[in-house]
Structure 1
């Protein structure tokens, strides 16, 4: 990471599973909806295939691997059910509010979710004003995670070199996207979905710069990273 001591890096937060503890709700709603449509998939497989992926990528996987196409009616029903669950049950990741108050960095959100869902999630958990208007969605770029497009788009919009960015991610697809963008990536494994079978192994296998499971630790982890040796990053090969 090419950061001169004393400068402020851009910290790019994923939303689901990093800012809001939404992944178990999202996976439960998705699996139930797919099962009703005759797609046999359980939560373990859903985590492995869909965690951190954009809606368009999800649709492509269902088409290619399950011979199932999702239509507008399915998406509308899914959205209504998910938003209802969010309004009833969604919580912020423990400790994130204090981190955002204390972190001495420029911040933004870059999520695979649609802008409407990102803003609803952040609004329900009291985090929206911390980020608005610096909220970036996979719908704004051609290719979703694990492609680097979204993180590179966020860096350009925030006028920051990718080498001066730290991405906070919880998904294998997001970690790979950050690495391919030439950014430092801190893997957060403190969400309530972290106990899913194989999750920890998939995260460790990608060798992120940092793995941490308590959000308040992010303050000193960012500081340590800034004060460490100068590390210029190049995007990884696709």
Structure 2
């Protein structure tokens, strides 16, 4: 029962991007008179696709977003990424050491995740094995994206490890019947207490190999 695949979420797991994303969204919404705080973003938007975020904003504030809002937000965010985006600490070293197949499964749009990996110099680490919510009917917290990724990678879901930072992503991995680990090393989760008793948490990539070894040892004795 050795794990066959590791699925990485992108924002907040590979890229330390969630604070940048939140700040840009807050600024863009403020320009059209919609007040949103960082706490709002972390609670309600983290790990969700932009269409879901936009629908939540419309429902809460009763205000439709301008037709060009998403395009302006994405353009502004990518410009910010070009200047300030960094990977989560220690990730590249881990990717160089890991001896299992890996892929990305993210709620981000294909252009955003593609450029994110390019900026971080990680495109070659994952190659074509990058999957987005645009490829499935339902985004996180539904299991569709993770099941799709496992199928594309020829992996048994029960032998697939998911690394997530957000509640919707954790729920999606569990619903897919996968082994889920909660990565809390992103800047957006600094000083935020771990509140999920149903999944192990870690905040340093050096800990991941220890957790993976524990998963393998447990499987060997089950």
TM-score, normalising length from structure 2?
A: 0.95
Q: Work out which of the residue numbers 38, 44, 49 in structure 1 matches 2:39.
A: 44
Query: Relative to structure 1, is the Cα distance of residues 231 and 179 closer, same or farther in structure 2, using a 3 angstrom cutoff?
Result: farther
| Structure 2 match to 1:207 | 198
Cα RMSD (Å) of the superposition? Answer: 1.6
Tell me the CA shift for residue 64 of structure 1: 1.7
Task: Tell me whether 1:183 sits opposite 2:178 in the alignment.
Answer: yes
Task: Tell me whether 1:216 sits opposite 2:206 in the alignment.
Answer: yes
Query: Relative to structure 1, is the Cα distance of residues 44 and 125 closer, same or farther in structure 2, using a 3 angstrom cutoff?
Result: same
Q: Work out which of the residue numbers 11, 23, 26 in structure 2 matches 1:31.
A: 26
Q: Work out which of the residue numbers 187, 207, 217 in structure 2 matches 1:227.
A: 217
Aligned residues: 222
TM-score, normalising length from structure 1?
A: 0.89
Give the distance between the partners of 2:217 and 2:94, measured in 1 at CA: 19
Task: Tell me whether 1:143 sits opposite 2:133 in the alignment.
Answer: no
Give SS of 1:21's match: coil
After the TM superposition, which segments of 4 or more aligned residues of structure 1 sit over 2 Å from their partners? 68-72, 229-232
Give the distance between the partners of 1:138 and 1:71, measured in 2 at CA: 23
Tell me the CA shift for residue 69 of structure 1: 2.3
Tell me the CA shift for residue 205 of structure 1: 3.3
Tell me the CA shift for residue 73 of structure 1: 1.0
| Structure 2 match to 1:168 | 163
| Structure 1 match to 2:49 | 54
